[in-house]
Chains A and B, each alone.
Chain A
Amino acid sequence: MNRKPKSNSYVQPMPRKQFLRLMHEFKEIGGKYICNKETEEFLSLQKAEAMTIDGFTILFSRRPSRAAVYEELFHAKQFRNGKINGSFENMLTCEVEAQEYLLNNAKLLELTDPEIIQTRQALEWYRQKLTELKGEEI
């Protein structure tokens, strides 16, 4: 029997034990995460793997990647630090910061090569949108 080879862009989900450990730490600071069929349906409308609602609430699809989990925890911290006002420009700035955090800590966070590639692409896209919005080089 053959195993169908995974495409080069396949992103491994975060191991369940690791995910639960991180969520336990998040809950200890008052955080709440929701990860079930309902959130998966909700997120699928925006083709999203996860969503940070505020500093203490994150929605996850059922098998999020390492990059998605660490990114949303980073966004939750940005919310708690008062960095997020919800405007489009602010969202782009916060996303640039989050992607840079992931790339600068890729080894520590054990991001896979496909995740690193996707994060680089996302960073480029957010920077381009920010440049278009601001009309200047960043």
Chain B
Amino acid sequence: MFFHNFKYTFKILFKNKSLIFWTFAFPIILGTLFYFAFSDIEKKEQFDRIQIAIIENELPNEIWNQALKELSEEGENQILQLQYTNIEQANKLLEEEKISGILILDSEQKLIVKKNGINETILKFAIEEIKQTETMLKNIIHSITYESQIQDTKNSINMTIQKILQMKTESMNNIKDVSVNNMSYTMIEYYTLIAMTCLYGGLLSMIAIQKNLANMGSVGKRSATSPTTKKTMILSSLLSSYLIQLIGIILLFLYTIFVLNVDYGNHFSFVVLLTLVGCFAGLSLGIFLASTLKSSENSKTGILLAITMFGCFLSGMMGITMKYVVDKNIPFINRINPANLITDGFYALYYYDTQTRFYHNVIGLLLISCFLIFISILFLRRQTYDNL
């Protein structure tokens, strides 16, 4: 009976066009919209190399030479794009905002900027750091006698470069409001999308369970008079809903990875684990609402969608600030909010070095799911109705 109901529930759900839209197509459509809406913003927010004009009125000293060379060397750490030119040309470029500043290498190095932006701040910081290092090195350069002291001088220049690079990273963080790789604003949206898709699975289990409920229509009445136990019906329906949900999630992952080029980073296996548990939580929520609410199918569907969307809202789908506000003021809500447990699990993967918080979220989801299923079975067992 278990496999029989499993097989047919799968068939029935899979042929339900509206369900397939919400489970398969809607997340993909939403993902595509995110891609077009946010990828542009991210591109604009990407750190451009700071264009700077260099005017050499005096022969440059070795310290400045080396520092500028390091900062403008092509690669991941390149900050500056140097243009060696004359003052007239440089002024013209600055006026046209094609460069962020002019560095005049004279007896006293002078930086000219037009406005106060992030690029200008980084430039000022970089030039100041080089100046300080130069002064420090000039003071000690006369007393260099040993090879090791020459090495110390090189190390000092390297440290200066590292400081400037750190300044660049911090500035970038301020722009993006995130601290580490694979956790851009778009990624947060994709993770919330996965959470939402997991919870939308509730629609599948809700429809699957309702076909066994006598108060939900004639098919339910017929199933309720059959000798197959409620437990068998619920668990087999749950399993087939889960399978369809997984197909939907796999499609979403394939689409986001291969079509939208989303990079889930080094924690993909954890992302998958959390998604599997999240799907289970979504299905449990659907079963719970289907079993406990005494209202029409449309009302139940509406309630499930409302709960899912509200849960996603509290977990930061429409703005990450909401998640922090709820976490700070009413943390209990987010501890029982499946959408938050899923998104928080994703954040935990990227914010923390250990997986403790991630596993807390996974366990939390499992506990909530088991609780919801247990209550559902209790409700449905030996159920009779006041009216049909």
Q: Does B associate with A?
A: no
Residues of A within 8 A of B (CB): none
